[in-house]
Amino acid sequence: MQGSVDGRIKQNSWGFKDYHKYFEETAEKIPADAWLVGQVTMQEFSSKQPYVLESGKEDFPKKDFVADQPAKTFAAVIDPAGKCFWDTNRVSTEHVIEVLTENIPIGYLEHLRSKNVSYVFGGKEELNWERVLNKLHDLFNIQILRIDGGGHVNGSFLKANLIDEFSLVLAPVADGAIGSPTVFEVEEGYGARKATQFKIKSVE
């Protein structure tokens, strides 16, 4: 992740022309079979065209779909309600995998199939993170997954205790926008949850 000194992550208002560069140069040093983001972040990479869903003419089963395609690296998106639309089944060189819940209109599955985009079901109404990771491993042979945000997806993995390693590019900027997403958006207050401690591996 790339964060401001106050932990915020919406880089487009920070005044850097090439903010993607600092994130990407660091991210590409991390060997990974896939990257994964939330649907808000993926809107930047998915279709900008308006799509109208069919009412679901064909009776598609709500079963995982692994597209027949050649890519060996993947771009996965947490998109429980199917808000990302696709003109192609790739982001750059990576094949797109949609992570859905079963609360999804059949017409959306038809859209994904028509673009040969893979999809997996991570739960009926809520996502079960271990199930999601097991499916990404078993169906796509993803061994190392790089979670690239935003804050809500990071927060979900943090809460589920499923982060092994965390890398932060610290931008020399104070953002200060109250309510703007931060590196980890878990929940209001602390409740029974404690902060997660990391051990420093290296600093540059």
- Point out which residues bind ligand NAP (CB under 6 A): 1-2, 9-11, 23, 37-41, 78, 80-81, 83, 127, 148-153, 156, 181, 185
Identity of the residue, 72 or 124, whose beta carbon is nearer to ligand NAP in the bound complex: 124
Rounded to the nearest whole angstrom, what is the least distance from the CB of residue 167 to ligand NAP in the complex?
10
Closest distance between ligand NAP and the C-beta of residue 81, in Å? 4
Nearest approach in angstroms of CB 108 to ligand NAP is 12
Q: Are 35 and 57 in contact (CB under 8 A)?
A: no
Q: DSSP characters for 101-139?
A: -S---HHHHHHHHHTT-EEEE--SSS--HHHHHHHHHHH
Minimum CB–partner distance for residue 122 and ligand NAP (Å): 8
DSSP 161: T
- Location of structure tokens 């992740």: 1
Q: Which is nearer to ligand NAP, 80 or 120 (CB)?
A: 80
| Nearest to ligand NAP of 68, 161 (CB atom) | 161
Q: Which is nearer to ligand NAP, 146 or 152 (CB)?
A: 152
* Cβ atoms < 10 Å from Cβ of 163: 14
| Beta carbon of residue 182, minimum distance to ligand NAP (angstroms, whole number) | 8
| Residue of 197, 99, 202 lying closest to 142 (CA atoms) | 99
Closest CA to 196 of 172, 161, 165: 161
Pick 37 or 145: Cβ nearer ligand NAP? 37
